[in-house]
Amino acid sequence: MGAVPRCLARFWPHLAVGAALAALLAAVPPLARGPGTPAAGAGPPPPAPGPGADCSRRAVLGAYYSCKPAWSGNNGGATYRGVGAHQVEVVDYIPSLGPQFASIGSVAASVPAWLEDREVAIFAAYLNANTQTYGRRVVVSVMRSDQPLGDAAGARSDAVAVDQRYHAFLDVGAFDPNFLDEAARRGIESIVGAQMPQSFLAAHAPLVWGLLPSTDTTTSMVAEYVAKRLGVASPARFGGEQSRPPVDGQPRRFGIVYPTTNPDGGPSILAGAGPQLARRLQRAGARVVADVGYRAISGDADAATEALNVVAQLRAARATTVACLCDPIEPIYLTRAASSQGWYPEWLQTGFEDTDADQVGRLYDPSQWRHSFGISPLPTPLPPDQTPAWRVFRAADRTDPLPLDAQAVFGELQVAFAAIEAAGPRLDPYSFARAMFGLYLPTDPLFYYSRSDLGGIKDAREVWWDPQAVGADGGRGAYLQVDGGHRYALGHWPPTPTRVFDRACLAPGSCGAPPSSARRLT
């Protein structure tokens, strides 16, 4: 499977988040903070190492990373399913994208299966050697699905295989709610790189943990951003001058696009996100003129046809500004359809499902996406050679290319290993939950779990798309950020006009952001 299909099949789970999540336990002792709502800030330095602690992992993961604690004694043996006296079973699950998206796969060089397996083996070996696993080896098995993407029965069948074939304690990489529901029913922990409603996460607690913001946090933050940074009665300013019907100078009228149907025809778990955003925008005083659902991941031909219909509805409603609560594939077809109809709206970036990752934005029609701006919960991206994933991979393999998804794979495994360490020797869902509630990253992004919000990221930066900018990975096309990427938690966006598309506002603090003492953890 090609690199883009693999990442898209995972909905680009935390592709850019990986490097930041690698520092999750660096800043604060894992159980030092109970569930709550801490403010963003630098946080205290890591604790002084205890007797016999091994601090060598700081050489790769950074000076702020906590030391590996010493341990000796009885680990309790088989404390839960997938946990024995000598090993813990973890599955790295790779969904199938399917041949219907062959045209998308052509945009990236192929990453052969052997290289995917090698990166997982390298990362697992490093993490086993540098994490306190209490006398157990964490066995990470790669499972490639051959089930059709979005097929409910197939997803449940895969979860059964994770249980019966691999006897897993934990899986990473899955995002299908049917898979997650079946895995949770069988008592398997899941770390999820796709956005989920808080209602779903809460119903499956303490077994399903989101890395991205919950959909509830996202829609609340988009509504706050519109109210405070755009102004609900303001005229559109960032559309295309040649748009028909015209956009710029018109009072902003919002159109919302969101998935209502899964590929197999069943209802999407995200179907409530569109109406939820519409209600929140309307309560803020914004005018919503259309909310249009689509069938998610429906394949090249069907998606292109449906996108033409979606765009026609938005144009007929004379929407000026499109808020796309979309999977990362849908805007490929929407932007092509909009160009074919001569319509160039403002594309309000919602940060939904990693559409705000540079690598994803490059898939969209640049004549459309140059009008994209808004919020991004992803952290400021780093050059690959400045990430822990690169350091770990290169220490073991100096010849093979670093896979495109290396930061994502390392990040998700790092969270899993960090929680296993923090859970202590008696590993089960309850000790694992205590560990997950203790994870706290104070900045870029603000990341923690609370019982009222089981999505990880809690803040966002303000961005706009520049098709000519060079991204941190060296690729052409990137999101630029206002005030150096200063981040705002929900309720803290400033009520001042946005300065997107203003290059004078690129530097930190150049356009009104308060000074920040928060340090970067890399």
Q: What are phi and psi of 24, to 5 degrees?
A: -55, -40
* Predicted local confidence at residue 432, as pLDDT: 97
Which residues, 6 or more positions from 142, have their beta carbon under 8 angstroms from its beta carbon?
91, 92, 94, 116, 117, 120
| Assigned token pair, 474 | 């060296």
Which residue reads 């499902």 in tokens? 353
Q: Using CA atoms, how far apart are residues 102 and 309, in angstroms rounded to an integer?
A: 23
Task: Round to the nearest angstrom and report the end-to-end CA distance of the chain.
Answer: 30
Q: Hey, which residues does 191 pair with through a beta bridge?
A: 172, 209
* Predicted local confidence at residue 418, as pLDDT: 92
User: Tens digit of pLDDT for each residue in 390-401?
Assistant: 999 999 999 998
Range 497-502 average pLDDT:
97
For 321-344, b/e burial (b = at least 16 CB within 10 A) is bbbbbbbbbbbbbbbbbbbeeebb
Q: Using CA atoms, how far apart are residues 82 and 89, in angstroms rounded to an integer?
A: 5
Considering the chain, what is the average pLDDT of its residues? 87
How many beta carbons lie within 10 A of that of residue 469, not counting itself?
14
Asked if pLDDT for residue 337 goes beyond 70, the answer is: yes
Asked if pLDDT for residue 202 goes beyond 90, the answer is: yes
Range 82-89 average pLDDT:
98
Which residue reads 């590996």 in tokens? 68
Q: Using CA atoms, how far apart are residues 394 and 406, in angstroms rounded to an integer?
A: 11
Using the 8-state DSSP alphabet, how is residue 325 labeled?
A: -
E-assigned strand segments in 145-287: 170-172, 189-192, 208-210, 254-261
* Predicted local confidence at residue 41, as pLDDT: 39
Asked if pLDDT for residue 170 goes beyond 90, the answer is: yes
Write down all domains in the chain, each with its CATH number in brackets. 3-30+79-103+110-213+383-448 (3.40.50.2300), 216-376 (3.40.50.2300)
* Predicted local confidence at residue 98, as pLDDT: 61
* Predicted local confidence at residue 21, as pLDDT: 55
User: Tens digit of pLDDT for each residue in 26-47?
Assistant: 433 333 333 333 333 344 455 6
Range 139-157 average pLDDT:
92
Q: Is pLDDT larger for residue 102 or for residue 144?
A: 144
* Predicted local confidence at residue 111, as pLDDT: 64
Asked if pLDDT for residue 214 goes beyond 70, the answer is: yes
E-assigned strand segments in 420-458: 440-441, 447-448
pLDDT confidence tier of residue 299, bands split at 50, 70 and 90:
low
Burial class from Cβ neighbours inside 10 Å (0-12, 13-18, 19+) for residue 510 reads middle
Q: What are phi and psi of 448, to 5 degrees?
A: -165, 165
Q: What are phi and psi of 303, to 5 degrees?
A: -65, -40
| Assigned token pair, 136 | 């157990």
Q: Using CA atoms, how far apart are residues 152 and 147, in angstroms rounded to an integer?
A: 10
Asked if pLDDT for residue 70 goes beyond 60, the answer is: yes
User: Tens digit of pLDDT for each residue in 436-477?
Assistant: 999 887 767 899 999 999 999 999 999 999 999 999 999 999
Using DSSP, how many helices (H) and how many strands (E) does the chain show?
17, 15
Asked if pLDDT for residue 108 goes beyond 50, the answer is: no
Q: Check: CB of residue 422 under 8 Å from CB of residue 17.
A: no
Which residues, 6 or more positions from 433, have their beta carbon under 8 angstroms from its beta carbon?
205, 206
User: Tens digit of pLDDT for each residue in 2-21?
Assistant: 333 444 544 344 444 554 45
The DSSP annotation for 278-296 comes to HHHHHHHTPPEEEEEEEET
Q: Using CA atoms, how far apart are residues 457 and 446, in angstroms rounded to an integer?
A: 6
pLDDT confidence tier of residue 518, bands split at 50, 70 and 90:
very low
Q: Using CA atoms, how far apart are residues 388 and 61, in angstroms rounded to an integer?
A: 6
pLDDT confidence tier of residue 193, bands split at 50, 70 and 90:
confident
Which residue reads 């966006």 in tokens? 493
Q: Using CA atoms, how far apart are residues 34 and 37, in angstroms rounded to an integer?
A: 9
pLDDT confidence tier of residue 430, bands split at 50, 70 and 90:
very high
DSSP reduced 3-state for 141: strand
Which residues, 6 or more positions from 360, have their beta carbon under 8 angstroms from its beta carbon?
12, 15, 328, 354
Q: Check: CB of residue 225 under 8 Å from CB of residue 259.
A: no
Q: Hey, which residues does 251 pair with through a beta bridge?
A: 235
Asked if pLDDT for residue 257 goes beyond 90, the answer is: yes
DSSP reduced 3-state for 2: strand
Q: Using CA atoms, how far apart are residues 11 and 465, in angstroms rounded to an integer?
A: 20
* Predicted local confidence at residue 441, as pLDDT: 76
Which residue reads 């991941």 in tokens? 297
Q: Check: CB of residue 489 under 8 Å from CB of residue 479.
A: no
| Assigned token pair, 317 | 């409603």
